Amino acid sequence: MDEQRKYVRAECSATVELNHPSLAYRELKARDLSDGGMFVILGANIAPPIGTVLKVKIKRYTGVINDEPVAMQVVHHNNGGVGLMFV
């Protein structure tokens, strides 16, 4: 299968805060990050439906990367997590 990604993924150890009016606040771990989005590990959490736009804050051990939440859309469910795309 050919790789169809526009952006190179980099492994990361960021914590991600996900917010949406119909979902409870969630703080999860990101597995990788690129200029186009990220993959977030869900653990025992239920995946938001594909197409859902979430407000996301990204934190590293050095602190918060983005003070204001950014909009990210759920684009796929796979391997115990969700793929999020910056919108």
Nearest to 10 by CA among 35, 42, 43, 41: 35
Report pLDDT digits (tens) over 40-85: 999 888 889 999 999 999 998 888 888 899 999 999 999 899 999 9
Q: Tell me the CA end-to-end span of the chain in Å, nearest whole number.
A: 26
Question: Would residue 61 count as lying in a domain?
Answer: yes
Question: Would residue 1 count as lying in a domain?
Answer: no
Question: Would residue 4 count as lying in a domain?
Answer: no
Provide the residue range defining the domain that includes 49: 10-86
> Hunting for tokens 């439906």 — which residue is that?
49
pTM metric for this prediction = 0.85
Report pLDDT digits (tens) over 20-48: 888 878 899 999 988 899 999 998 888 89
CATH number at residue 63: 2.40.10.220
Domains: count for the chain: 1
Q: How many CA atoms lie within 13 A of 55 on its CB side?
A: 10
